Structure 1
Amino acid sequence: MVGLLGWVCLLGLACGTSFAADSEAKQWLPYEVVLNAIGGYGNPYKDVEVNVTFVPADTARRYLVNARGEPFFWLGDTHWSGFSLAEHTRDNNDPFYNDSTSMFQEILTRRVAQGYTVWKAESFANNDEGVDCAGSASDGSVTHWHTSSTWTSLWVRECQAHINRAQTVAFPGGNAPINHGGPAWINNTFFSLPNPAFWQDIDDRVALVNQAGLLAALAVGIGRSMPTNATLADHMRLSKYFFARYAAFNTVWLTCQEYCTSTACPDCWATIAATIWSMDPYRRPNSMHNCATNPIAYHDQPWYSFVTLQLGHGSLASVDHWLAQYNATPARAIIEDEANYELLVPPYQPVTSEMTRQTAWQAVIGGSFGYTYGGQGLWWGCWNRTYVNGNCGTVGSSAYKTWNETLHFPTGVTALGHWRDFWSQLPWWQLAPDGLVAEWSVLAPRFSQKPYQKSTPDRSVVVAYLPPSPCGTYTGMLHLPVTTPAPYSVFWFNVTSGEYLRLMTNVSGSVAVPEAPSTSDWALLATTNASHIDMARTHAYGRQDSEHDSRFHAPAASWHLVANVTSLGTPRQGPATVGLNFSLDEAATAVALGRYKLPDNGDCHQLSLYGPDGRTLVAQAYVNMAAAADANGFVYAGLVSPVRLQPGVPYYLVDNNSGPDSFANDDQTRLVPSTAGSISSSVFGGPGTFQAGGGGPNSGYGPVDLVFELASSQVRAK
């Protein structure tokens, strides 16, 4: 029990009356005091401000630590719809694991068993997204992943019933969020009078989160709801109300989601964050959830406890993304809070399980104290395969995932389990990015696949992460302290299986690192204390793909989109995403992607094939530009899985991994297309923003090429 002395001042009373309560309450549990005002108020929410001062019996308990007083490792789970009807608290439709009373409870039980430590959500009580009970935007489109955030369409009839009871289908400002307690606001009017039942439903959910042993990371809503300071007073009042309800729980404050978009007022949200921090007797960690631009701001403010990053989705980043924030001054702790939700589906950029795994590893290597995971079907709760919501994708699509499927995703369950176990067995809080303790050969990939490492101050522990190296493996060198006797053991860690491969023992000083066992991603551990490593899961080092031939061998019946290059345009220095737009005359199967070899391009190039919308990724391959070219001057990489292409529709083939010292011939490059297809134009830009370049038909940047097989047996000149 923690003794609390509370002085409660009711501002708005003529006499400035104060009330003192001497009582006890348990820490991280709500404690309620009923106050009866002398006079009456038309709207107590607006007319009365309650200030409470707490004096804890033990000031040491003001700090957020785990039960053992140890540093807190953050493995978060994203539930943007966690306070709404999208996550059921009264029933469960999982046929495989339904001993829990509800979807909500099952998620908590499973995530705790899987080693998660943080549960993240927001109330949306400040947001008008203009969404009806069917979960679609007022114009019928889905333009942002929170388009359906305020009216969850999971229980359409219950949602409609609340509207009917309110005798309205629209109200000033739009539609309010809803849960089992009804809309967030009385009479469905934003910032008027809170509906206690709505907030009591959230009370119950936060209590369940804490009772499960998880920290609740909370935000009021989306930052763009406050584009100027005109509504600062309304947002401040709501934020204070939000804080007053949940300050008793085990929480950290994220203030709002995406505080710095072009339609938000960053300084307004900073004012709110500073105010809430000043009110918090525990001075618990306080932050603001970033937009994808991730500005380095507010580091010098005492209320800004840690940096909440958002890499975004659908692409990978260099470790430099995190290092830039980690190295900013004054120093702040950083957390990667939103990056590459596993198996994310259109209308967002698609994400593979491997991309999610790589992002989690790179984030911690770059200085993050953990990672907040998100999985398709659960970052926004998708009840079943008939639930219509833009955040869940297209009903009937094979990519559609439900919430209970998400609980079995390979990265969210297995790979992050290995990741957590690996870091948890090390003094991870002592490890810091270290650019000097290792160096890698010139064959090492750059940009998003760049290897990097961190170490303890005395370098008794060194950890390196080598992202997937699709163009081949490479060697390196560790620079360890020279000691006698040599105390270091060095291991490869398989990030997909959780197994260690013993590389060497009893070494110190400069130690040569051989090629990784495969071109997949690996972690490298050098330590003076290997006692924590389970030797039963440790094997001798050996190349796992020693017989692998990375050269592409075209099938005898294959076709090339580019039959010939008649002239090359001027070489232009990158970085840039460039290529061409093409179509095929009949159905075909893509088997390889290629890039024209230029003398100055000796690195690994990422080639991508996008669908007719210019946004949906169809295929991807990495081409080793150090390899020998064919007779037409191209280097190819085969696709892991051949891809079916439809006839008569446009596709975009681009090189989107050109670095600052990479080169591509410009749009004056003239090409002769295959008789089985046509090249409409050169293109530049990015997914969803491709534009036609100059040169007209039969031109292309790069150039790039596609190898395909026709569905028919028709023989024509290639």
Structure 2
Amino acid sequence: MILQGRNALWIYWSCLCVLIVSLICARSVNAATPQRLRVSDNGRYLVTDKGEPFFYLGDTAWELFHRLNREEAELYLSDRAKKGFTVIQAVVLAELDGLHTPNAYGHVPLLNDDPTRPAVKEGPDNDYWDHVDWIVQRAEELGLFIGMLPTWGDKWNKKWGVGPEIFTPENARIYGRWLGRRYRDRAIIWILGGDRNPENDRHLAIVRALAAGLAEGDGGAHLMTYHPMGGSNSATWFHKDSWLAFNMFQSGHSAFNLPNYKTTLALRDLMPIKPVLDGEPRYEDHPVNWKQGKDWFDDWDVRQAAYWSMLSGACGHTYGNHNIWQMYEPPRKPISFARTPWKEALHHPGSAQMGLMRAILTQRPWYRLVPDQSLIQGNELEGADHRRCARSIDDVFVLVYLPTGGSLRVHWETASREEVQIWWFDPRTGRIHDGGRKRPGESLALRAPGSGRGQDWLLILDKVSAGLTPPHVAR
């Protein structure tokens, strides 16, 4: 019995050791080979290297590398990962004097403002790039991609801001090659531009040289896009460039109810087909049109922009908070009237509600949605009340976003003789309201559970015969 017990104990420990070694090896392999992204075969959305649809839910943390130390970066990244974000958009050569004002550890990125001379020192954890490495790796461990901007736009088209302009087509390619090589094995999406539009041939040459250098450095491992100024989009200059994997636009912060769905629809119709998303919509807690006063964008504005664009065929969406992109906290000088310390702003409701949006949309094959306003009967509403409608390509389910609730009539021709299950999703709380079942006939007359500003609702219509799982969101 003793021998048998010892043998059993030996077998147990042997198996446990094998398991531990296997887990360590698996972790090492995963660390060395992070997930890759590519464009879907139909050109409408992004997929992982496993072929799984990838929901791009971004957050703008432009000053992440420049202003936060590692403890702060951990706080920020962990919060965004828990809320369901998948991409963090951050800038290597940052906007707020990123060339000359040191990072949290006293380091600057370049020697003498020369893009061909990154300030890399011997040894671990003692330069600017070591800190960027740490953040990129930590994000990857949390399941996040870094949407990495190699530089803010003022370094090649100052126009406004700090600058200085340091890029030429020649050094942009060298810098891109170095950067691409350094991060070729990390979970990265390259985002060129940096809130600037090219205004001449030299600017175009710089951007294209940077793209070429990145591709040479990473061997084409990562997707690329372009972040333009407010009211602009990447397709204007680069749609037919092979390096531009998907289009990004910035609907911006200049007014309430900016109809970003119009840009989404327009870019979706371009040939060749490429995915599209709003990479900088109205930020939560941002003064409308940059004017200090009573008008500030809130979480309703955030939700309105997000659902409008998603139901118009976007491959994802980016959230932003005015305090977080700049990592504002006293005694730092607030940019454009920032008023909330960033650690407090982490808890503004809009960010969690973006996670709820991703959760509800991924309850159904969102990537198979087709914009279809024809399902809404009657005169279409404009401005704040504008509803957006999309149906699945196989006509199994329909989604309608009502930014101010109220009533509507839906004529779903392919379901006119079938029973339809009605659900109302509250995008503020994630609660699901069961609206019962109806047989549409000519149309469905429906009324949301509430109406008015701040009372937005997502209507979900399912064909009962399809046997879809009732929507549910863990809150």
The normalised TM-score by structure 1 is 0.53
- Residue in structure 2 matched with residue 168 of structure 1 by the alignment: none
**Is residue 359 from structure 1 mapped to residue 305 from structure 2 by the alignment?**
yes
SS at match of 2:448: coil
Per the alignment, do residues 292 and 535 of structure 1 end up closer, same or farther by CA in structure 2, a change over 3 Å counting?
Answer: closer
- Residue in structure 1 matched with residue 412 of structure 2 by the alignment: 479
SS at match of 2:276: strand
1:401 alignment partner AA: T
Report deviation, 1:68.
6.0
Kept after mapping to 2: 8 A contact 1:260/1:266: no
SS at match of 1:195: coil
SS at match of 1:391: coil
Kept after mapping to 2: 8 A contact 1:82/1:122: yes
> Which residue among 29, 37, 41 is the counterpart of 2:32?
29
Equivalent-residue separation in structure 1 for 2:373 and 2:289 (angstroms): 38
Report deviation, 1:28.
5.7
**Is residue 270 from structure 1 mapped to residue 204 from structure 2 by the alignment?**
no
Report deviation, 1:392.
7.1
Q: How does 1:287-686 map to 2 (within 5 A)?
A: 287-295=225-233, 296-297=235-236, 298-315=238-255, 316-318=257-259, 319-345=261-287, 348=290, 350-382=296-328, 384=329, 386-391=330-335, 393=337, 400-413=339-352, 415-436=353-374, 438-442=375-379, 444-468=380-404, 473-482=406-415, 486-508=418-440, 510-519=442-451, 520-528=455-463, 529=466, 531-533=468-470
- Residue in structure 2 matched with residue 83 of structure 1 by the alignment: 65
CA RMSD of aligned residues (A): 3.1
Report deviation, 1:180.
2.1
Deviations 1:299-337 (A, max 9, x none): 222221101111111422222232111122221101211
Kept after mapping to 2: 8 A contact 1:459/1:480: no
Q: How does 1:223-262 map to 2 (within 5 A)?
A: 223-227=153-157, 231-260=168-197, 262=199
Report deviation, 1:149.
4.3
Per the alignment, do residues 458 and 347 of structure 1 end up closer, same or farther by CA in structure 2, a change over 3 Å counting?
Answer: closer
Report deviation, 1:423.
0.5
Equivalent-residue separation in structure 1 for 2:36 and 2:472 (angstroms): 39
Structure 2 unaligned regions, length at least 5: 1-27, 39-45, 121-126, 158-164
Report deviation, 1:276.
2.7
Per chain length, whose mean CA-contact separation is higher, i.e. which structure has more relative contact order (CA < 8 Å, sep 6+)?
2
Equivalent-residue separation in structure 1 for 2:336 and 2:355 (angstroms): 25
Deviations 1:553-593 (A, max 9, x none): xxxxxxxxxxxxxxxxxxxxxxxxxxxxxxxxxxxxxxxxx
Equivalent-residue separation in structure 2 for 1:330 and 1:300 (angstroms): 7
The normalised TM-score by structure 2 is 0.78
1:29 alignment partner AA: A
Instruction: Give the greater-gyration-radius structure (CA).
Output: 1
Per the alignment, do residues 506 and 530 of structure 1 end up closer, same or farther by CA in structure 2, a change over 3 Å counting?
Answer: farther
1:183 alignment partner AA: V
- How many pairs are equivalent? 413
Per the alignment, do residues 482 and 279 of structure 1 end up closer, same or farther by CA in structure 2, a change over 3 Å counting?
Answer: same
Equivalent-residue separation in structure 2 for 1:536 and 1:81 (angstroms): 32
Tell me which protein shows more strand as a share of its residues: 1
1:106 alignment partner AA: L
SS at match of 1:339: coil
Report deviation, 1:479.
1.9
Q: Comparing 223-232 with 512-521, which one deviates more in the overlay?
A: 223-232
- Residue in structure 2 matched with residue 195 of structure 1 by the alignment: 119
Equivalent-residue separation in structure 2 for 1:183 and 1:534 (angstroms): 49
Kept after mapping to 2: 8 A contact 1:273/1:288: no
SS at match of 1:475: strand
Kept after mapping to 1: 8 A contact 2:224/2:245: yes
Structure 1 unaligned regions, length at least 5: 1-24, 32-59, 90-101, 126-145, 152-174, 395-399, 538-718
- Residue in structure 1 matched with residue 85 of structure 2 by the alignment: 116
Per the alignment, do residues 211 and 179 of structure 1 end up closer, same or farther by CA in structure 2, a change over 3 Å counting?
Answer: same
> Which residue among 138, 144, 150 is the counterpart of 1:214?
144
SS at match of 1:123: strand
2:117 alignment partner AA: L
Kept after mapping to 1: 8 A contact 2:81/2:142: yes
Deviations 1:36-68 (A, max 9, x none): xxxxxxxxxxxxxxxxxxxxxxxx978585586
2:231 alignment partner AA: T
Deviations 1:590-635 (A, max 9, x none): xxxxxxxxxxxxxxxxxxxxxxxxxxxxxxxxxxxxxxxxxxxxxx
Equivalent-residue separation in structure 2 for 1:67 and 1:518 (angstroms): 42
Deviations 1:653-690 (A, max 9, x none): xxxxxxxxxxxxxxxxxxxxxxxxxxxxxxxxxxxxxx
2:151 alignment partner AA: G
Report deviation, 1:192.
5.5
Per the alignment, do residues 320 and 490 of structure 1 end up closer, same or farther by CA in structure 2, a change over 3 Å counting?
Answer: same
SS at match of 1:338: coil
2:401 alignment partner AA: Y
Kept after mapping to 2: 8 A contact 1:112/1:214: yes
